Amino acid sequence: MTNSWVTTVDHKRLGLMYIGYALVFLVIGGVEAALMRIQLIAPHQTFVSPQVFNRLFTMHGTTMIFFVVMPLLFGFANYLIPLMIGARDTAFPRLNALSFWLTAFAGLLLYFSVLGASGLYGAGNAPDVGWFAYAPLTSTTFSRGHSTDFWTLSLLVSGIGSVGTAINLIATILCLRCDGMTLGRMPLFAWLILVMAAMVILAVSPLTAAQLMLLIDRYLGGHFFDTQAGGSATLWMHFFWIFGHPEVYVLVLPAFGFASEIIPVFSRKAMFGYPVMVGATVCIGFIGLSVWAHHMFTIGMTAQANTFFVLSTMAIAVPTGIKIFNWLATMWGGTIAFTTPMLFCTAFLFQFLVAGLTGIMLGAAPLDWQLGNSYFVVAHFHYVIVGGILFTTFGAFYYWFPKATGRMYSEALGRLHFWLFVIGFHLTFDFMHMPGLLGMPRRIYTYEADRGWAIWNLIVTIGVVFQASGILVFLANLGWSYRRGTPAGSDPWDAWTLEWSTASPPPDYNFAALPAVRSRRPLWDLKHPEDPDWRYE
């Protein structure tokens, strides 16, 4: 590889840079979570001040969504898509590099705020308005100084990077597929990335518009969100959640893609119901754009509006349920190998089901009136993001690690990571539902001893210790295996998609000769000429 990491436009290198960058912020975001959990381990702790606690949950939420999960998924998409569709690179390599560097700079810009006026221990000028930055808290009346501007500007910049990446991925998937790879033959991961990229463009744009309006309110005398001057605080909420809810699908669709690639290979069966999986994905994309106000059931919308958003939220359970059914049907009757990637994907199936069920509970407005803004909600969305997205992403790390490095990871360390993390996850996020049901609001920096919340908060914090140990084992495994892992060869899993048809790691140009395919499992056809898949198409 000739060009340096700084000037590279190669999709593989950019993919690995996104992933490396996200891992650094995963540790930072994790430390922020641990600091909050130490503060909440028991009533009346003074480990951090109320002001620092506000900065911690704002930075934790913003970091994990925009500078961990999104770069991770963009990293995997960048690395895998050209290999999976039989292309040499993405459609717009320089746009790809620009988008990466914008995202990279945006994260640094957000953390420059920590170096602000009152220094590190006061967390400087870090934003303190929560990751969804409701008005009028973000106005110059209630947010003096520049902390909110760091939040706004860093997300404005990363938003441009995300839209650039999305345009590039859509053009690559629609225009650079190799001979014979029709839309109906491309890997499911490519379908999920295609719909995810479209949602990025549709979701990030309203957020960008709202952030520009916020800057106009703060510096150019605008009144968009100023309730005292004819503006509207709920206008911000609508803009934010028109972005915010589709954003959760931007995060979960690639995770579904990981599961849809890993589960068939370790069940030794082709994916059950490929066309229905594609249909369900597109349905999720569309319905996902019409549910945003389920985050606003408590603001006093009309009964008609509430009913609409209750129904649209419930409707999204159907295509999601179909996916869970099809993954189970793929495993059913298969010869299942519980390798580390498969362990993570199996846990994902159960946890995502539970996350979906609590989502349906919160989608029922009357229940949300009771549970809204409580730790039940915090437990729910961590169940989705950690229990769903992070679990399959760990599975993806282990599944494609041999392809990207040419070496196998340590299966023993992989399993240790899995068990530490799954125990920690359930200790933390199962028991976090309890104080929520008992009325504990989110974002409070301490609580009274007589509320019955203390025991649950203790268990929740103990779970974080297991999760943190699991992450350390994971990072150690990546580092150690990269240097000492046994050579992997091009196709260690006996898999079926094109990335396994080239060397590990792949050469600059990806393929000596661009492949031609005749079915959804091109490598199966190559390895089983006696019974090729294309015969059944």
Contact 63, 25 (CB under 8 A): yes
Q: Tell me which residue has its CB nearest to Cu ion.
A: 245
Within 141-170, the residues that bind Cu ion by CB under 5 A are none
Stretch that binds Cu ion, among 242-250, 429-437, 467-475, 513-521 (CB under 5 A): 242-250
Distance CA 85, CA 107 (A): 31
The least CB distance from residue 352 to Cu ion, in Å, is 15
Nearer to Cu ion, 13 or 245 (CB): 245
Which listed range, 105-113, 239-247, 331-339, 410-418, lies at the site for Cu ion (CB under 5 A)?
239-247
Whole-angstrom distance, CA of residue 310 vs CA of residue 364: 6
**Interaction of residue 245 with Cu ion, rule CB under 5 A:** yes
**CA-to-CA distance for 72 and 255, rounded, in angstroms?**
10
Q: Which is nearer to Cu ion, 56 or 248 (CB)?
A: 248
Segment holding 206, helix H or strand E: helix 188-219
Task: Name the packing angle between helices 274-287 and 233-267 (round to 10°).
Answer: 170
Answer whether 86's CB lies under 8 Å from 177's CB: yes
Query: Whole-number minimum distance, CB 110 to Cu ion, in Å?
Result: 23
**Which amino acid does the sequence have at 246?**
P
Of the candidate spans 10-18, 149-157, 237-245, 371-379, the one that interacts with Cu ion by CB under 5 A turns out to be: 237-245
Cβ–Cβ < 8 Å for 295, 316: no
How far, CA to CA in Å, does 39 sit from each of 59, 262, 447, 465? 16, 39, 10, 14
Least Å distance between CB 107 and Cu ion? 24
Q: Segment contacting Cu ion (CB under 5 A): 59-67, 209-217, 241-249, 275-283?
A: 241-249
Residue 386 CB, nearest approach to Cu ion (Å): 16
Q: What's the residue count for the chain?
A: 537
Residues sharing a CB contact under 8 Å with residue 44, sequence separation 6 or more, in sequence order: 446, 447, 448, 449
- Written as one letter, the residue type at 329 is A
Shortest distance, CB of residue 30 to Cu ion, whole angstroms?
A: 24
CA 472 to chain centroid, in Å, comes to 20
Q: Report the SS3 class of residue 20.
A: helix
d(CA 506, CA 519): 22
- Binding string to Cu ion for residues 363 to 382, with x set by CB under 5 A, is what? --------------------
Q: Please, which of residues 9-28 interact with Cu ion by CB under 5 A?
A: none
In the complex with Cu ion, the residue whose CB is nearer, 188 or 203, is 203
Least distance between Cu ion and beta carbon 323 (Å): 18
406: its two tokens: 């040419």
**183 in Cβ contact with 515 (< 8 Å):** no
Shortest Cβ 227–Cu ion spacing (Å): 24
60 versus 245: smaller Cβ distance to Cu ion: 245
Q: Which is nearer to Cu ion, 16 or 252 (CB)?
A: 252
Give the residue with the Cβ less far from Cu ion, 245 or 403: 245
Window 382-401: contact mask with Cu ion (x via CB under 5 A)? --------------------
| 245 versus 382: smaller Cβ distance to Cu ion | 245
The widest CA-to-CA distance across the chain, in whole angstroms, is 75
CB of 403 to Cu ion, least distance (A): 34
Binding-site ranges for Cu ion (CB under 5 A): 245
